[in-house]
Amino acid sequence: MTAPTTTAAGGTAAGRVLALAATEVRLILRNKTVAVSSLVLPLGLGVLWAFQFGGVDDPARHAVSITLQLAVALAMGVYLTATQTLVARRHSGVLKRMRTSGLSDRGLIVATLAPSVVLGVVQLVVFAVVNVGIGAPSPNDPLPLVLAVMGGLALVVTAALATSIVTPSPERAQITTLPLMFVMLGVGVVAAIAPGEGWWPALSVMPGGAIGDLAQLAMTGGSWAAGTAGMPAIVPPLAALVAWPLVLGAVALRRFRWDPRR
């Protein structure tokens, strides 16, 4: 684990961040367990769902597939991997030692988490290519889909920082990340297929629900039509995707620990 310390010793601040991030990518790919859980499994599930929902020219049906793909890439490809990486570096003492390397705390966190984000984005690109290849309909309004990706990434990155606070070891990350992963997958799918009446719109306040709503709006349109309380339909899920990272980021900022938990 001396490679990150050595790599970050020289060069500009941006160069040290990139060098450390590149080292983190290699460490992630060398760990077979992490590579399978963060790359192989999400990719396999996302492609399976693409074919399962393919062949039908129904935008609402494909919104469910897109929601599942977003949720699995964000939850497993980014959130789980980022939490495991952060906790592993802290547990081994590398994270604390790196604070003396000349990197700022912010730069160190960015370098540690950026590889997980890049791997997640790569998965989303693969899913998009597969969806186009099987003839899935194009989004009626791409803006909600872009916002779902950006808001989802902010959500899972801040969630990884917050979850690391209560995760004593890399092995325990498999457990502490389960609640949010289940919420993003389960609630996201329900929100993507739920009617817009009754209490169903309340699912928008949940992380996965907001992603499902935005995916549905992207595929079927109606983002600016009147929704809950007369607001444009895009406002509640977008507000939820802004609020959750702010809350989780505030928790992480106040309670994040650099020292290993015993």
d(CA 123, CA 145): 15
Domain assignment of residue 262, yes or no: no
pLDDT at 162: 95
Residues whose CB is less than 8 angstroms from the CB of residue 156 and which lie 6 or more positions away in sequence, other chains included: 74, 75, 78, 79, 82, 120, 180
Q: Please answer whether residues 248 and 159 qualify as being in contact, where contact means their C-beta atoms are separated by less than 8 angstroms.
A: yes
The residue length of the chain stands at 262
d(CA 121, CA 30): 20
CB atoms under 10 Å from CB of 182, counted, come to 12
Residues whose CB is less than 8 angstroms from the CB of residue 75 and which lie 6 or more positions away in sequence, other chains included: 156, 177, 180, 181, 184, 185
Q: Assign 1 a pLDDT band (cuts: 50, 70, 90).
A: very low
Domain assignment of residue 29, yes or no: yes
- Helix intervals (H) in 53-177: 59-72, 81-91, 94-97, 105-133, 142-165, 173-176
pTM across the whole model: 0.87
Q: Region 254-258: what's the mean pLDDT?
A: 88
Least confident of 21-35, 51-65, 88-102, 103-117: 21-35
Domain assignment of residue 162, yes or no: yes
Sign for the pseudo-dihedral over CA of 217, 222, 225, 229:
negative
Domain assignment of residue 102, yes or no: yes
Query: How many domains does the structure of the chain reveal?
Result: 1
Domain assignment of residue 260, yes or no: no
Domain assignment of residue 200, yes or no: yes
Q: Please answer whether residues 233 and 225 qualify as being in contact, where contact means their C-beta atoms are separated by less than 8 angstroms.
A: yes
Q: Please answer whether residues 106 and 20 qualify as being in contact, where contact means their C-beta atoms are separated by less than 8 angstroms.
A: no
- pLDDT, tens digit, 9 for 90 and up, residues 147-166: 999 999 999 999 999 999 99
Residue 176 has pLDDT above 60, yes or no: yes
User: Could you give the 3-state DSSP secondary structure of residue 76?
Assistant: helix
d(CA 247, CA 224): 26
Residue 204 has pLDDT above 80, yes or no: no
Q: Region 66-88: what's the mean pLDDT?
A: 92
> Across all residues in the chain, what is the average pLDDT?
84
CA atoms within 13 A on the CB side of 13: 9
pLDDT at 7: 41
pLDDT at 149: 95
Q: Please answer whether residues 70 and 50 qualify as being in contact, where contact means their C-beta atoms are separated by less than 8 angstroms.
A: no
Domain assignment of residue 202, yes or no: yes
Domain assignment of residue 168, yes or no: yes
d(CA 34, CA 39): 8
Write out the residue range of the structural domain in which residue 157 sits: 3-255
